């Protein structure tokens, strides 16, 4: 997720979800490691029948699960996994990659999983093993994201830097927690975005640099080597090979790979998707493959990417503030309605596109800030004390639109809000020895911007979605369909 420009303009009809219910106290069943989710037409299925995804983004799972010497926090990990499971969450989208550099780099996950091509931090890798094992125990499956367009994990830009003799990365504006203003207690923030005066480059410069991965043979080979290392790994906790464990539902090419600004048949993204998804299929024939596309750039690019034969389902990300639809300092009903209308139309249009491609579609990123007009004159715009009236209404609308589409036989198969912050709060944050706070928001963005906390009403809306759909499936499913 990142700041973007809206390239979609849709008109509207909002759909709300039913009133949220209390989280379940029932202990979930563990994932059967042989029960792989598969695609049947516009549906996902498992051994029990229809499989609807009630997901959350929890990208830092591997670092939280890592050894304490690597900045891990196992106690927090299991607490938050239990919280999510109690709210009916059956899927987490997590990072299965992060890249380091010869010198310390800002705005990214630390320590990294891979310090240099082929050189892994085994203690962080074991964190990924632990993460998957703990998910499996709670009946939660995973999307494993193998790369990243953006700087917060290293990602494309780091591969390109490695392949071009450690070329300096032209970082775009990114949140610097050590920049003024600072709180009186050391290592607690707040910070601000970097600017041109700090050496920040434009997003276009950064994307142009990062997207060289599509055409740089050495960068692609190192990326494929990483894919093979992860997919063929044997979990040191439970002994399962990653590509034989149904806890891993999906291998994802990257977080938000970017295309050209408008459709072009010669866009190098398209053959790259074909090459990488085909390579993953060879290594992991039992598991699903997705691209990680935002799908913000319209119908032609959506279809060109998702028509790749080895891509099993489409993905969408919906960011009303980042795309200029919503203003977090505007408390008006008109501001909220604009966001709801955009999201409802976005779901309707992308469902149609996916039906025309003939594949399911998963809303794997969306979010909204708290009522941050309440923080306008305070020391930090993203304090957790702000209420959530707009966020709750928006979550009901966008999740409700997906649920309604699923029930009427549309292409949508679930939702995955960004991102679970659990017990973390900006007011009590302290950077660890690696400069990390592990908020729901990644290191290049202001901590607490889109976090979902354990006490947020939005989590009850997530739980209500799971209960609502489960009841519908039980009533409507016949002979596994």
List pLDDT tens digits, range 78-119: 999 999 999 999 999 999 999 999 999 999 999 999 999 999
* Residue 4 belongs to some domain of the structure: no
* Residue 374 belongs to some domain of the structure: no
* Residue 449 belongs to some domain of the structure: yes
Asked if omega into 185 is within 30° of 0 (cis), the reply is no
pLDDT in tens, 34-75: 999 999 999 999 999 999 999 999 999 999 999 999 999 999
* Residues facing 176 on adjacent strands: 192
Spatial contact of 426 and 447, defined as CB atoms under 8 Å apart:
yes
Domain of 159, CATH number, reads: 3.20.20.80
pLDDT in tens, 198-217: 999 999 999 999 999 999 99
* Residue 326 belongs to some domain of the structure: no
CA–CA separation, 459 and 89 (whole Å): 10
pTM of the model: 0.95
How many other β-carbons are positioned within 10 Å of the β-carbon of residue 425? Answer: 18
pLDDT tier at 427 (50, 70, 90 boundaries)?
Answer: very high
**Which DSSP letter does residue 209 get?**
H
H or E element that contains 395: helix 389-407
pLDDT of residue 27: 76
* Residue 111 belongs to some domain of the structure: yes
Expressed as residue numbers, the domain containing 304 is 52-317+412-453
Domain count, the chain: 1
Spatial contact of 360 and 354, defined as CB atoms under 8 Å apart:
yes
How many other β-carbons are positioned within 10 Å of the β-carbon of residue 221? Answer: 13
**Which DSSP letter does residue 241 get?**
B
* Residue 103 belongs to some domain of the structure: yes
Task: Please determine, for residue 1, whether its predicted confidence score (pLDDT) is greater than 90.
Answer: no
Task: Name residues whose C-beta falls within 8 Å of residue 36's C-beta, 6 or more positions apart in sequence.
Answer: 46, 246, 249, 286, 287
Spatial contact of 259 and 150, defined as CB atoms under 8 Å apart:
no
* Residue 390 belongs to some domain of the structure: no
Give percent of the chain above pLDDT 70: 94
256-259: Cβ within 8 A, 24+ apart: 256/1, 256/2, 256/148, 256/149, 256/150, 256/292, 256/293, 256/294, 256/317, 257/147, 257/149, 257/156, 257/291, 257/292, 257/293, 258/149, 258/207, 258/210, 258/211, 259/297, 259/301, 259/305
Residue linked to tokens 């995804």:
53
CA–CA separation, 39 and 263 (whole Å): 28
* Residue 397 belongs to some domain of the structure: no
pLDDT of residue 22: 60
């Amino acid at each position: 997720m990142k700041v973007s420009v809206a390239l979609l303009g849709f008109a509207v009809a909002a759909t709300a979800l039913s009133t949220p219910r209390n989280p379940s106290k029932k202990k979930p069943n563990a994932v059967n490691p042989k029960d792989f989710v598969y695609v049947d037409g516009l549906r996902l299925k498992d051994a029990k029948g229809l499989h609807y995804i009630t997901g959350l983004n929890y990208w830092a799972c591997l670092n939280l699960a890592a050894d304490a010497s690597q900045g891990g926090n196992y106690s927090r990990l299991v607490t938050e996994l239990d919280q999510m499971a109690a709210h009916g969450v059956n899927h987490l989208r997590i990072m299965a990659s992060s890249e380091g550099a010869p010198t310390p780099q800002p705005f990214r996950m630390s320590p990294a999983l891979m310090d240099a091509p082929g050189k892994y931090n085994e203690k962080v890798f074991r964190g990924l093993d632990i993460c998957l094992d703990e998910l499996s125990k709670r009946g939660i499956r995973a999307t494993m994201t193998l790369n990243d367009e953006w700087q917060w994990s290293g990602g494309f830009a780091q591969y390109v830097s490695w392949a071009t003799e450690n070329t300096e990365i032209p970082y775009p504006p990114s949140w610097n927690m050590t920049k003024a203003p600072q709180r009186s207690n050391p290592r607690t923030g707040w910070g601000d975005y970097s600017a041109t005066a700090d050496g920040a480059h434009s997003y276009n410069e950064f994307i142009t640099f990062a997207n060289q991965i599509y055409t740089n043979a050495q960068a692609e080979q190192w990326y494929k080597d990483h894919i093979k290392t992860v997919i063929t790994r044997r979990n040191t906790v439970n002994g399962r090979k990653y590509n034989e464990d149904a806890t891993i539902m999906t291998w994802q090419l990257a977080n938000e790979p970017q295309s050209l600004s408008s459709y072009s048949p010669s866009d190098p993204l398209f053959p790259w998707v074909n090459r990488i998804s085909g390579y993953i299929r060879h290594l992991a024939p039992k598991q699903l493959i997705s691209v990680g596309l935002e799908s913000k750039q319209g119908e032609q690019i959506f279809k060109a990417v998702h028509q790749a034969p080895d891509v099993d389902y489409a993905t969408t990300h919906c960011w009303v503030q980042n795309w200029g639809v919503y203003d977090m300092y505007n408390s008006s009903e008109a501001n909220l309605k604009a966001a709801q209308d955009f999201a409802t139309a976005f779901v309707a249009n992308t469902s149609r596109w996916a039906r025309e491609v003939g594949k399911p579609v998963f809303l794997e990123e969306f979010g909204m800030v708290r009522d941050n007009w309440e923080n306008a004159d305070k020391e930090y715009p993203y304090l957790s004390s702000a209420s959530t009236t707009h966020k709750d209404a928006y979550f009901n609308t966008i999740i409700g639109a997906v649920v309604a589409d699923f029930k009427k036989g549309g292409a949508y198969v679930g939702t995955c809000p960004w991102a679970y912050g659990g017990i973390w709060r900006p007011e009590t944050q302290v950077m660890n020895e690696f400069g990390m706070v592990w908020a729901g928001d990644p290191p290049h963005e202001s901590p607490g911007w889109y976090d979902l906390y354990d006490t947020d009403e939005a989590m009850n809306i997530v739980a209500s979605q799971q209960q609502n759909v489960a009841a519908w499936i039980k009533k409507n499913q016949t002979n596994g369909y």
